[in-house]
Chains A and B, each alone.
Chain A
Amino acid sequence: MINFLLKRVATGIVLIYVVLTLIFLMLHAVPGDPAMQLLAGDGAAQVTPAALEAARERLGLNAPLPVQYWNYLAGAVQLDLGTSFQDGAPVLDLVSERLPNTLELVLLAVLIALAVGIPLGSVAARRGGFVDSAISVGTSIGMSVPVYVVGALFVLLFALKLGWFPAGGYEEAGGNFVGHVSRVVLPAAALSFGIASIIARMTRSAILDNYRQDWVRTARSWGIGRRLVFRKHVLRNSLTPVATVTALQIGTLLGSTVLVERIFNWPGISALLVDSVIERDYPVVQGIVIILSAIFIFINILVDVLYGYLDPRARVS
């Protein structure tokens, strides 16, 4: 088990290194002068030579390529992600200030999705018939309505029309707890909409799949009762694929915060990312991409460990 863990962590570190390198290469694959492209986009005329030179200096673009690469990696290892073009603040400070807000949103969304998706999928699989069809159509819709449409509809319905929740914004949990909770519920629910549907479908198909397994018949032959057969020999075995699919969806979920934080004015890292893309603040964009990828890789390691716990056969290899 320890070996397995070390191996996974080592793979994760290699993966983060490769990700860093790819991001570096993406910057240098920009046609022409990266600094020019970053400052001006297509309208090159408005850029003063002084500003261009400043940007090149900031990005370290004047050094030879291997030196740039080395400095970049060394910076990343020391968690020095550069400074913002906008106000010169260290990117790490900007990120660490806002990261907890995004993680709160994602965590809550995953919990809601699991709490809704697993029971929904179980009911669909066990009831069959009309209930199954209805849930199937429902989850199809849940997977298909884009998160920004869901978010906008939630604001329209629950905030503007019904007035149950504020339309957005943020309140410190320490200061006004009720205000904090009332502001996190809508964005988290919007975020969980799609993934809950995916979890429900996976749960349903895994349960149906496991019901067909020989060991279910064996357990039935021991006369331990229908409920126990379902809980211990069907549902328990279905958790493995559900965990896998949930983990895979966390990447999408992290991405969706980009849209949700904007709609609900939630001061997370993803809202900062979008603002920085619009402001062409490259160091901040790069820093956030690195941090979010690292988080995603870390979550996948956690899930692999969970997988080993859920399925003993995975532990050996």
Chain B
Amino acid sequence: MSTTIVQKSPKKVTVSAALKRAFTPVRLAAAVMVLVFILVMILAPLIAPADPLEQNIAMRFAPLGTPGYLLGADELGRDVLSRVIFGIRTELLVALSATLVAMVIGTVLGLVAGYFGGIIETLSMRGVDVILAFPPIIIALLATTLYGPGPGTLIAVMGVLFIPAFARIVYGQTLSVGRAEFVEASEVFGARVFVRLFRVILPNVIAPVFVQFSLTMATAILLESGLSYLGLGIVPPAPSLGTMVAEGQRYMSTEPAALLVPGTIVSLTILGFSLLGDALRDWLDPRR
């Protein structure tokens, strides 16, 4: 029955219509938010009104909207807006680097494992299973103990931890696409292995990778800020949203803004990337 309906309905869904359906107003707002966060990441030194480390004890806990302290000041009288801006920068740089590393490694791994099968498949996919056997934040803590805290450790650990997310998706997609007749056809009609993998299969499996990229960004920020909250990620006094939440929590009964401002910002970065991921999925996956 369904075939009848599909045949009847217009085959070609226009790009703009599909975009409109995927990007609901809420998600559009999220996409804009992500764009703003990325701009902040790039332009932080230019747009921050003050030095995020400069203390001015006289302005301690200046309320929101104080001239020169738009988002107030913290317990040491540092400008919260500047700290937030630089916090976003660190947060995103770390998350972006780790996610990129994981994406490249994971995609190639999944592609190769899915297409060739056999021993290559067993080795790479079991390797991925091993990574999944560690609860992420726990292994990050172990690495921090061994190699010391800081952005380098974070990027390396998360870069490895997030490989499975990409490898599994690409692997699954490659398994089904790799068996499709057009891939076999390319083999019969003379395409070499490299061409088959990267020119024929990859373009057909890449859409979910973009979706996963956005979702993994959200997870990376979550993990990174969690470690910073514990004081084991980005080391104070370097500004980071996680650290700011931890500091704000100490004064929250009297100064709720100290908790709420960084808490809201960090939640918004995560929300932005996860909603963007949802929108991309609905847009790129024609089944939904």
Contacts and interface: CB of A to CB of B under 8 A. Distances in A.
Interface of A: 15-16, 18-19, 22-23, 26-27, 29-31, 34, 37-38, 41-42, 133, 137, 140-141, 143-149, 152-153, 155-156, 160, 251-252, 254-256, 258-259, 262-263, 273-274, 276-278, 280, 282, 285-286, 288-289, 292-293, 296-297, 300
A297 B133 CA distance: 6
A29 B263 CA distance: 36
A148 B26 contact: no
Nearest to B134: A293
Contact of B146 (A30, A153, A255, A276): A30
Contacts of B135: 251-252, 254-255, 292-293, 296
A149 B263 contact: yes
Given A144-B271, A149-B263, A262 B134 contact: no
A146 B222 contact: yes
A23 B142 CA distance: 9
Interface in B33-52: none
B218 interface: yes
Contacts of A41: 148
Given A149-B263, A297-B133, A273 B141 contact: yes
Instruction: Please classify the interface of chain A as helix (H, G, I), strand (E, B), loop, or mixed, using the class held by over half of its residues.
Output: helix
A146 B225 contact: yes
Given A153-B263, A252-B136, A140 B144 contact: no
A285 B231 CA distance: 16
Contact of A152 (B134, B148, B218, B249): B249
Contacts of A263: 249
Interface of B: 24, 26, 129-130, 132-139, 141-148, 218, 222, 225-226, 229-232, 242, 245-246, 249, 252-253, 256, 259, 263, 266-268, 270-271, 274-275, 278
Nearest to A273: B141
B219 to A, nearest CB: 9
A22 B141 CA distance: 15
A15 B147 CA distance: 24
B145 A282 contact: yes
Contacts of A140: 271, 274-275, 278
Nearest to B221: A146
Contacts, number: 146
Contacts of B148: 37, 41-42
Contact of B245 (A19, A22, A148, A251): A148
Given A19-B133, A140-B278, A141-B267, 14 more contacts: A15-B129, A16-B133, A18-B130, A27-B146, A34-B146, A156-B256, A251-B134, A258-B137, A258-B138, A258-B230, A259-B229, A285-B142, A289-B138, A293-B134
8 contacts: A155-B252, A156-B253, A156-B259, A254-B138, A259-B226, A259-B229, A277-B230, A296-B133
Greatest chain A CB density within 10 A among B24, B226, B245 is at B226
Contacts of B132: 251
Greatest chain A CB density within 10 A among B142, B246, B275 is at B142
A255 B137 contact: yes
Contacts of A141: 267, 271
Given A258-B138, A258-B141, A146 B146 contact: no
B245 A149 contact: yes
A144 B270 contact: yes
Contacts of A255: 135-138
A148 B229 contact: yes
A252 B219 CA distance: 10
Nearest to A286: B142
A134 to B, nearest CB: 11
A277 B136 contact: no
Contacts of A148: 226, 229, 242, 245-246
Nearest to B241: A146
B138 A145 contact: no
Contact of A160 (B143, B225, B253, B274): B253
Contacts of B242: 146, 148
Nearest to A259: B226
Contacts of B252: 152, 155-156, 160
A256 B267 contact: no
A289 B139 contact: yes
Contacts of A282: 145-146
Contacts of A285: 141-142, 145
Contacts of B134: 19, 251, 289, 293, 296
Greatest chain A CB density within 10 A among B133, B222, B225, B263 is at B133
Given A144-B271, A292-B138, A149 B266 contact: yes
A273 B138 contact: yes
A64 B249 CA distance: 48
A144 B276 CA distance: 12
A16 B245 CA distance: 36
Contacts of A259: 137, 226, 229-230
Nearest to A289: B142
Contact of B218 (A144, A276, A277): A144
A274 B141 contact: yes
B138 to A, nearest CB: 5
A80 to B, nearest CB: 19
